[in-house]
Amino acid sequence: MNMRLFQEIFELNQAFELVIEGLKRMEKVTLFPPDVPRETRAEVVLVQVDFNRQFFDQFHEVFEKDEGWACEFTDACREKRIDPDDAYLEIRRREEMRKKKGLPPRVTLMSDWDMGDERRYDEDQAERRKQTAKKRRKKGRKQQTKADKGAKPATTETGIAPKQEENSNQ
């Protein structure tokens, strides 16, 4: 939220307070009937309250939008930081606690489970994809060079090759 805006609201409320204090002092002056400054002070207080109410209603809407964005962003950041293997470790810890209490297991964990197996599998797959792509490129180059070397000149229906244009020899 813009701090300058809050500063402006603060200063406006200070100005309202100065007007209200001035009207209180005017009630003591005999120049005016006491009801006139009192009614005017009441109107100023109502204007101040109404203005602040409208401002803070708008502020509440902006605050809720900011809060929604901040919550979504924080959740997304938290998801990125959480290690998926932590869930398995937490389940293992809880199952050990159940075992100590003599309760039956709710989940069966693989005894040879390794936290790095998925990561290694993903790395292996990526390496295989790279090697396959290399082979395809290499094979494509070989086929292209064979086609270029073994290309025969085009012939007509009579079996005679057409004359090559002079521009192609240059």
Kindly report, residue by residue over 126-152, the tens digit of the pLDDT: 999 999 888 888 877 777 776 666 655
Same domain, 90 and 125: yes
**Is-above-0.75 flag for pTM?**
no
Rounded Cα–Cα distance for residues 153 and 73 (Å) = 66
Please tell me the predicted confidence (pLDDT) of residue 168: 47
Mean pLDDT, residues 47-73: 86
Same domain, 96 and 111: yes
Choose one of 51, 81, 111: the last residue of a domain: 81
| Alpha-carbon separation of residue 149 from 23, 28, 39, 47, 143 (angstroms) | 104, 113, 105, 92, 10
Same domain, 9 and 53: yes
Please tell me the predicted confidence (pLDDT) of residue 148: 66
3-state percent helix, strand, coil for the chain, nearest multiple of 5: 75, 0, 25
* Full residue range of the structural domain in which residue 101 is found: 83-138
Number of domains observed in the structure of the chain: 2
Please tell me the predicted confidence (pLDDT) of residue 47: 94
Rounded Cα–Cα distance for residues 39 and 23 (Å) = 9
| Alpha-carbon separation of residue 13 from 9, 38, 70, 132, 158 (angstroms) | 6, 19, 30, 72, 103
CB 63 within 8 A of CB 79: no
Same domain, 77 and 90: no
In a domain, 156, yes or no: no
Q: Residue 3, SS3?
A: helix
Rounded Cα–Cα distance for residues 7 and 19 (Å) = 19
Please tell me the predicted confidence (pLDDT) of residue 157: 55
CB 23 within 8 A of CB 44: yes
